[in-house]
Amino acid sequence: VVKYFQEHVRLDKSSYDDFLGINDTNLFDKLEPTGEDRIFSTAQTVNVLISSFTYLDNATGKLKWINDRQIETIQIMVNKSISWLLENVFKYQPFNCFFSGSVKGFNQLPFWYPANIYQFLNGTTFDPNHFDINNGSLVDAIVGVSGYIN
């Protein structure tokens, strides 16, 4: 995990892009990276590193770093990324922080996730509580979030 993140960190050595941010193309099909998933990818990297290299101390109820020969490197990576997030969280639009281009089964339908936008590709909206899942138009449905869901 650590080697992968070290090899894929951006030049600033504290933030990360994934496929949505680095494979964007413009109108002329030329590569034009936007970094649109930079916030999510960086936060996810922090979560993976913390989850992989900490444990819950039952006596204190706090996370503690595991003893590992490269734990200092991991802590530096986490701290740099957290600092970057704190400094940049409002500089980027949080586009595509959750993205799925395919559905592999009923439990992966977008209606199972929090959302507040329900529309078809043509822009007309629909009520998810009265949607006929047997209707083939599910393929043309967009389900997402605008702003925050409280």
Confidence of residue 33 (pLDDT cuts 50, 70, 90): confident
Closest to 18 in 3D by CA, of 1, 49, 43: 43
Query: Is residue 14 within a helix (H) or strand (E), and if so which, with residue range?
Result: none
- In 10 A of CB 21, how many CB atoms? 22
Cα angle at 144 between 19 and 138, to 5 degrees?
100
Q: Give residue-wise pLDDT tens across range 88-125.
A: 988 876 655 555 566 667 777 666 778 888 888 888 89
Q: Is the pLDDT of residue 61 over 90?
A: yes
Q: Above pLDDT 70, what percent of the chain?
A: 83
Quick one: angle between helices 38-53 and 71-88, nearest 10?
Answer: 150
Average pLDDT of the chain? 82
Handedness of CA 40, 21, 5, 86 (dihedral sign): negative
pLDDT at 93: 65
Give the model's pLDDT for residue 89: 85
**What phi-psi label fits residue 2: left (phi over 0), alpha (psi between -120 and 50 degrees) or beta?**
alpha
Query: CA 77 to CA 82: how far, in whole Å?
Result: 9
Please check whether residue 15 is in contact with residue 43, taking contact to mean a CB–CB distance below 8 angstroms: no
pTM as predicted: 0.61
pLDDT score recorded for residue 94: 60
Whether the predicted pLDDT of 70 surpasses 70: yes
Least confident window among 8-12, 19-23, 85-89: 19-23
Of 6, 41, 7, 3, the closest CA to residue 22 belongs to: 41
Please provide residue 97's backbone torsions phi and psi, each rounded to the nearest 5 degrees: -75, -15
pLDDT at residue 136 in the model: 66
**Which residue is it, tokens 């996810």?**
44
Tell me the range of 33-47, 72-86, 87-101, 112-126 where mean pLDDT is highest. 72-86
